[in-house]
Amino acid sequence: MSTIPKKFDKFLAASSVSKNINHQPDSSKETPRNTPEKSYPFSDQIGNYQRNKGIPTKSYKDNKVYIIGSGIAGLSAAYYFIRDGHFTPENIHFIEQLAVEGGSLDGAGNAKDGYIIRGGREMDCTYENLWDMFQDIPALELPAPYSVLDEYRLVNDNDSNYSIARLIHNKGTVQDFSKFGLKKKDQLAIIKLLLKKKEELDDIKIEDYFSEAFLASNFWTFWRTMFAFENWHSLLEFKLYMHRFLHAIDGLNDLSSLVFPKYNQFDTFVTPLGRWLKEKGVTIQLNTLVEDLILDTSNENKSVTGIKATQNGQDIIIPIKDDDYVIVTTGSMTEDTSYGTNTTAPVLTIDNSNSGKSPGWQLWKNLAAKSPIFGKPEKFCSNINQSSWESVTLTCKPSAFVEKLKEYAVNDPYSGKTVTGGIITITDSNWLMSFTCNRQPHFPTQPDDILVIWVYSLFMDKEGNYTKKTMPMCTGNEILAELCYHLGIEEQLDNVIENTIVRTAFMPYITSMFMPRAKGDRPTVVPEGYTNLGLVGQFVETNNDVVFTMESSVRTARIAVYELLNLNKQVPDINPLQYDIRHLLKATKTLNDDQPFLGEALLRKVLKGSYFEHILPPNADHQEDHEKESFFVEQFGKFKEWVSHIKD
């Protein structure tokens, strides 16, 4: 490896590009035009050409890396330091305050005491960075040479995901979920939002922009329950999500656009990645709390010179040399989780006075106190009432609940195939309760007669319809009672309780990354002027990606490594499907509940029988003369009338 750069020294020294690589190009600002100066691919030009091996500018054989936090962002950083930076794995050290790696990607328990998963992962095929990494990580169960990606595709290619009961109400009756139900002014509001620049949306809430009719629509119910958005969350983040998942919008109602793992998030992703890193020689120091970083800002090139930590009750300082690197996960969405059981509630009261004071937030706060370039963590951790919700894991033996679940299942729950195909939302629940049964078993060692079900609620601060208590104040059995009431099986509650272990988790900051924000509230991945510090996770700034996804965490890790090492590689921007005319036309028609859009009839006539005929969405049963009913035609008519008045 060390001899490769020598052969290219003269060539690279003459290049103006190698020293000025834009490691995270921005497709929202780039006009894709080929010029003599253009040597790198376009910002969102994905594909095998991006699989080139990075050539470090020097050997990093003896350099050390300290990664604070072993969530997916930290684990990914270690992977990229090894694969693309060619670091010696034994010189990469994790420092983790918890007793297990994985961060928020958890999954634990057993059939006797009950399983627990604080959350799940709705995955997408366009996660270019995630799949870039996991195509190289050996599979959990398939033999060599198969990867996690191979295993994932084997499952999903042969077991399509979709829901037959996305919405239910009225004691468990399946509700029509075929339509978005957006009024025409709300369709226009979405289009206007997509056209707005990101810089126009600082600190604006979703409810400040959209109408009450929009917030009461099926579309918003699908959206908010699938992605965990609240009305008071960031309009900017909603916009980014619309661009990111525009290609999937026609699968929003029945969840057919999703792909799910075979097992829970920990066993699917953390276990194989952690195993690969450990086998390479990476070390993980658990139960060690990092409190602060010692920074040298005395000159233009700023750096980390030490890590202040507490280990086994002792204060320690880890010295950082000039040629060492430090990666920090800022903030934590699952910090301060409170747990409950069948007979205990997770919290007695929601106390906002202590918000953001725990170790998972204090390191970021300590950095922010040193310089504004580290952002404003208080924007995200100061309002528990607006950043929290509660999730519930049910470990179920056969019961009346399991029998009721079968009515909503695509396949038999014990078949190993798709069950509910994603969350089922109870629309008349005061808590806006949703539940899901993913492929079973959900844990590799789960007994055959056990099902693991996940439940969560967005309006947990309201009184339940049946329990007359807020959700966090309820015991697990009381939450079961609320669920059974909405399924119309409350008379069989004793049978359900007898056969169900309940583990609850109240998470004060689970949607904190969605809180309204402005430019500068989140730090950049590599803070300006720093030569050996990278910030990763859900609370750092990227160009166009969203938050609350594994992909965004992996993206930040990859950017950190490439920028710090100035590798001759770029992290491609998000998948460019938002610019694809096929998906734009499809989204336009989908938002209008498959009614024709302006000019559709003419386009069909022009393109009929041509190579480009397929770019139009399916016509279903609509006749071309229905186009006059389209909202866009209606607006065009109003425009013509307005023009005629001007002429008069």
73: helix, coil or strand? helix
List, in sequence order, the alpha helices (H) in 159-205: 184-195
Q: How confident is the model at residue 82 (pLDDT cuts 50, 70, 90)?
A: very high
Mean pLDDT for 519-534 is 97
Amino acid at 2: S
Flag whether pLDDT at 55 surpasses 90.
no
Q: Residue 226 phi/psi, 5° resolution?
A: -75, -40
Structure tokens at 33: 């035009």
Other beta carbons less than 10 A from residue 641's beta carbon = 9
Dist. CA 208–CA 583, nearest whole Å = 28
Do 477 and 343 meet the contact criterion of CB atoms below 8 Å apart? yes
Tokens 């961060």 correspond to what residue?
Answer: 103
The lowest-confidence range among 62-76, 151-165, 471-485, 608-622 is: 608-622
What average pLDDT does this structure show over 207-236?
Answer: 98
Higher-confidence position of 626 and 581: 581
Residue ranges of domains in the chain: 8-103+266-333+350-379+513-565, 108-118+389-507, 167-245, 596-646
CATH T-level assignment (fold) for domain 8-103+266-333+350-379+513-565: FAD/NAD(P)-binding domain (3.50.50)
Question: What's the token pair of residue 390?
Answer: 């509660």
Burial level of 640, CB count in 10 A (0-12/13-18/19+)? Answer: exposed
* Mean pLDDT, range 428-436, rounded to an integer: 98
Which of these ranges, 25-29, 210-214, 215-219, 558-562, has the smallest mean pLDDT? 25-29
Contacts of 408 (CB under 8 A, 6+ apart): 164, 165, 168, 174, 420, 424
Distances 474 to 57, 266, 467 between C-alpha atoms, Å: 58, 27, 8
> Is the separation of the CB atoms in 586 and 246 below 8 Å?
no
Question: What b/e sequence results for 244-256 when a residue is b if at least 16 CB atoms lie within 10 Å of its CB, and e otherwise?
Answer: bbbbbbbbbbbbe
Q: Quote the mean pLDDT of the chain.
A: 93
Q: What is the DSSP letter of 617?
A: P
pLDDT for position 7: 72
Residue 343 corresponds to which tokens in the numbers above? 């007979």
Residue 342 has pLDDT above 60, yes or no: yes
**Mean local confidence (pLDDT), 399-403:** 98
Stretch among 136-145, 348-357, 384-393 having the lowest mean pLDDT: 348-357
Q: 590: pLDDT confidence band, cut at 50, 70 and 90?
A: very high
pLDDT value, residue 625: 44
Whether 635 has a pLDDT exceeding 60, the answer reads no
Task: Give 233's contacts (C-beta < 8 A, 6+ positions apart).
Answer: 205, 206, 511, 514, 515, 516
Q: Please identify every residue annotated as catalytic.
A: 122, 241
Q: Which of 454, 429, 425 lies closest to 440, judged by CA? A: 454
- At residue 67, φ and ψ (nearest 5 deg) are -110, 115
| CA–CA separation, 25 and 41 (whole Å) | 10
Contact indicator for 512, 90 with CB cutoff of 8 Å: no
| Residue of 8 and 32 predicted with greater confidence | 32
Q: Which letter, b or e, does each residue of 379-413 get, where b requires 16 or more Cβ atoms within 10 Å of its Cβ?
A: bbbbbbebbbbbbbbbbbeebbbbebbeebbbbeb
Half-sphere exposure of 643 (CA within 13 A, CB side): 6
Q: Given this model, what pLDDT does residue 643 score?
A: 59
* CA dist., res. 41 & res. 126, Å (int): 18
Cα–Cα distance for residue pair 515/315, rounded to 1 Å: 34
Percent of the chain exceeding pLDDT 70 equals 95
Whether residue 56 is predicted with pLDDT greater than 90 in this model: the reply is: no
More confident residue, 240 or 56: 240
CB 464 within 8 Å of CB 474: yes
Residue 627 has pLDDT above 50, yes or no: no
Where residue 4 falls among pLDDT bands split at 50, 70, 90?
Answer: low
The amino acid that residue 625 corresponds to is D
- E strand residue ranges, 159-238: 167-169, 173-174
- Given this model, what pLDDT does residue 620 score? 64
Is the N-terminal amide bond of 572 cis, ω within 30° of 0? Answer: no
Whole-number Å distance between alpha carbons of 305 and 415: 55
Residue 626 banded pLDDT, cuts 50, 70, 90: very low
Q: What is the pLDDT of residues 354-397, one digit of tens each?
A: 788 888 899 999 999 999 999 999 999 999 999 999 999 999 99
Amino acid at residue number 68: I
Region 251-273 average pLDDT: 96
CA nearest neighbour of 244 among 603, 624, 641, 578: 578
Cα–Cα nearest to 398, from 443, 433, 448, 444: 448
Q: Is residue 522 within 8 Å of residue 97, measured between CB atoms?
A: no
Confidence of residue 611 (pLDDT cuts 50, 70, 90): very high
pLDDT (average), residues 188-203: 96
Token look-up 């390191």 returns 363
Judged against a pLDDT cut of 60, whether residue 518 lies above it is answered with yes
| Beta strand segments in 171-277, E | 173-174
Task: Please calculate the CA angle 594-596-602 and round it to the nearest 5 degrees.
Answer: 145
Cis peptide bond upstream of 441, omega within 30: yes
Pairing of strands 500-507, 114-116: unpaired
The pLDDT assigned to 624 comes to 45
Binning pLDDT at 50, 70 and 90, where does residue 16 land?
confident
Percent of the chain at pLDDT exceeding 90: 83
Give the architecture (CATH level 2) of 108-118+389-507.
2-Layer Sandwich (3.30)
pTM of the full predicted structure? 0.93
pLDDT at 1 over 60: no
What length does the chain have?
A: 648
Structure tokens at 58: 């020097």
Q: For residue 306, what are the β-bridge partners? A: 294, 319
Q: What is the pLDDT of residues 455-489, one digit of tens each?
A: 999 999 999 999 999 999 999 999 999 999 999 99
